[in-house]
Amino acid sequence: MIVKNFRKLASQLGKFRRDADGSVNIEAILLLPILLITMAVSMVFYDAFRRDSLGEKATYTLGDMLSRETNYITPEYVDSAKALFGFLTDTADIENTIRVSVVSYDGPTQSYNVEWSEVRGGHALPMTASEAAGQTDQLPNMVSGEQLIVIDTFVEYEWPLELNYADGLLTARVFTRPRFAPQLVWSGS
């Protein structure tokens, strides 16, 4: 009796294994959640890299704009540069910060000096001489007396999905030399 029932069960399992009716539905039910999760995570990472790329490109735009300037830089100029940065990155005024600094190199003492530094936004402080001295490995080689424009930008990024990544700042830094004038001069209070 047990052997007969076992043979019948084995026969039924064999038919079930060979039967292909409904297999597409089962595969779809099993794989659709994985596919949807993969697509969502891909879109989230794409958005993060897109936002970072926009910040980098906008920072290069500010650097190019400042390097071509032959007039004095005023507080209104820096305010307008921040507004342009917000427009290019499609961020609100409180979500982004720009810091424009002019650094010179003193050859005899082999030190970097901050000529002036202006910040618009709440994510950074003006560059100080001690900060420049601590970044000698990050600043490019310069000739004694040469000036360099350093543009730092910060953009807040909030992950649209909870992926165990902390929300934070996307940062970019661009170094450029003045093109049409020997120096970039600050004219403000």
Residue 54: pLDDT above 90?
Answer: yes
pLDDT in tens, 70-124: 999 999 999 999 999 999 999 998 899 999 999 999 889 888 999 999 999 989 9
Task: From residue 121, give the alpha-carbon distance in Å to each of 50, 51, 79, 80, 151.
Answer: 22, 18, 10, 13, 13
Residue 34: pLDDT above 80?
Answer: yes
User: Measured in whole angstroms, how far is the alpha carbon of residue 134 from the centre of its chain?
Assistant: 23
Q: Distance between CA 77 and CA 183 in Å, rounded?
A: 16
Report pTM. Answer: 0.79
Most confident of 17-21, 117-121, 137-141: 117-121
Whose CA is closest to 152, among 53, 56, 84, 68? 56
Burial (CB count within 10 angstroms: exposed 0-12, middle 13-18, buried 19+), residue 175:
middle
Domain ranges of the chain: 51-176
Q: Distance between CA 188 and CA 183 in Å, rounded?
A: 16
Mean pLDDT of 49-54: 93
Tokens coding 182: 């020997």
Residue for token pair 């490995």:
137
Tokens coding 53: 């790329």
- Determine contact, residues 155/95, Cβ cutoff 8 Å: yes
Please list the residues that pair with 112 across neighbouring strands: 105
Confidence of residue 1 (pLDDT cuts 50, 70, 90): low
